[in-house]
Structure 1
Amino acid sequence: MTDSSTSNELGEAAAPTDTSSAGDSGPQGALTVLETRHLSRSVGRRLLVQDVDIQVSAGEILAVVGPSGAGKSSFLRLLNRLDEPTAGTVLLRSSDYRSIAPRELRRRVGMVMQTAFLFPGTVAANISFGPRQRGQAMAPVQIATLLERVGLSGFSDRDVGHLSGGEAQRVAVARTLANDPEVLLLDEPTSALDEASVHGVEELVQGVVRERRVACVIVTHNREQAVRLADRTMILEAGRIVRIGATREVLHDV
């Protein structure tokens, strides 16, 4: 069972852990896009996320792994204020994210959930939704180009109710990319997909991150996926960083 993506995910109080690698920054010389400082969230007496300090650079993928109930999804939801921190903060390109209007923040820090929640209607209508909310119209050629990028050429007029799980998840990624985000958050984006679709989405994510130079944080229960995708990996247990560093060093036993 994976972490819940809802705001009432409950973790347990942490015992002291080895955090000798905690606070590792991204690749040297790379531009830091996303940073957390002492980021924490508690609900009542339950500590969900505890004093997390990370930096994620442009063009980097950071995987977040850990046992069920470790606070992985709770941490991810804090990064674009779907949930509010009870201590600490997040910086987006060095600006405290509380100074950014929520709608603008979620455009710049886009999220793709475990299940693709698409609006009824066509693929094109879903992709153009975000820009339309800002009074911007996407030209058909722009939609077609984006669909080609995610491997869905010719799907503009397809009803989303007729999509496979892998196709729907690709549309969800395309809809997020239509907002031109600086950060891409992925919460178990392939957990419900078949093996072929998993590898297709992984290749898509890697390509988009490298081409667009976005900072990417992916929550995954699959350590093999972290090895395939992530430059660095953070292990969370009971809301605390146990270790963070180069993926193959952190997950050396995979």
Structure 2
Amino acid sequence: MDRLLDVRQLKTAQLGPLDLAVQPGELVQVTGASGAGKSLLLRALADLDPSTGEVMLNGEARDAMLPVQWRRRVAYVPAETAWWGERVDEHLPADFSREAALHLLEQVALPEASLGWEVERLSSGEKQRLGLVRALLNRPRVLLLDEPTANLDLENTKRIERAVRAYLAEEEAAALWVSHDTLQRQRLGGRILTIRDGQLEVNAWT
């Protein structure tokens, strides 16, 4: 079976060495106690924190790409997304497809006008939904989702779940999804990996 993301002997100050392989279209859940290193794992994979080992995307080494190129393809989406400009559209890729943007906005129940909203008027839930839209407009091959529905009600949580699932299917992309929500883990299904004592353990396949 083809490996989209192939991780070998990944090691940070707190984690590893870890091996991990993720297939096209696959959603892998990552769980663990608070402080176990879930966010650290995602940040290391995104090359946001120092790590050693080999990380490959479709057979191409992370070290062979510029960090900005890697992070467009392997996109880290934190629960609290960063916004540095005054308006939402200042944070979107220069070459984004407006058709794709409207499709994604519809999936997360936001109007077209939200692309021009001022950031300071956004609620935490709107920031979270627009943060996902922003990441998806780069058409990443792998999504690293760090509690992407933490600030959302159940209805919008399910919208995000459906939007991510649809994206993975349409683009043959993959995702690692950190969640503390037991019911969400049941809805998402698939492989569940637990971080314990700096190592990854296969917890379940549902």
Question: What TM-score do the two structures reach when normalised by structure 2?
Answer: 0.89
- 1:98 maps to 63
Q: 1:241 to 1:138 in 2, by over 3 A?
A: closer
**What is the correspondence of 1:100-179 to structure 2 with a 5 Å cutoff?**
100-126=65-91, 128=92, 131-132=93-94, 137-138=95-96, 140-141=98-99, 143-154=101-112, 155-179=114-138
Identify if the C-alpha distance between structure 1 residues 142 and 241 changes in structure 2 by more than 3 Å, giving closer, same or farther.
Answer: closer
> Which residue type is aligned with residue 71 of structure 2?
R
- The Cα shift of 1:68 comes to 1.3
Cα gap change, 1:143 to 1:124, in 2 (>3 Å): farther
1:233 partnered with 2:196: no
Runs of 5+ consecutive residues of structure 1 not aligned to the other structure: 1-28, 43-47, 249-254
Residue aligned with 2:6, SS: strand
Contact kept in structure 2, 1:72 and 1:239, CA below 8 Å: no
Which residue identity lines up with residue 200 of structure 1 in the other structure?
R
The answer on whether the counterparts of 1:36 and 1:90 sit within 8 Å (CA) in structure 2 is: yes
Q: Unmatched 5+ residue regions in structure 2?
A: none
Q: How many residues are aligned here?
A: 205
> Is the Cα contact below 8 Å between 1:124 and 1:143 reproduced in 2?
no
**In 2, Cα distance between equivalents of 1:140 and 1:95:** 30
Q: Choose the corresponding residue for 1:63, options 9, 26, 29.
A: 29
Alpha-carbon distance, 1:219 to partner = 1.4
Q: 1:82 aligns with which of 48, 57, 72?
A: 48
Q: Aligned-pair distance for 1:141?
A: 4.6
| Aligned residue number for residue 160 of structure 2 | 201
* Residue identity (%): 34
Deviation sequence 1:38-78 (CA, Å, 0-9, x none): 11111xxxxx1112111111111000001112111111111
- Aligned residue in 1 for 2:11: 40
TM-score by length of 1: 0.73
> Equivalents in 1 of 2:139, 2:39: separation in Å?
23
Q: Using the alignment, how far apart are the partners of 1:53 and 1:145 within structure 2?
A: 35
Distance in 1 between the 2:87 and 2:12 partners?
38
Tell me the CA shift for residue 122 of structure 1: 2.7
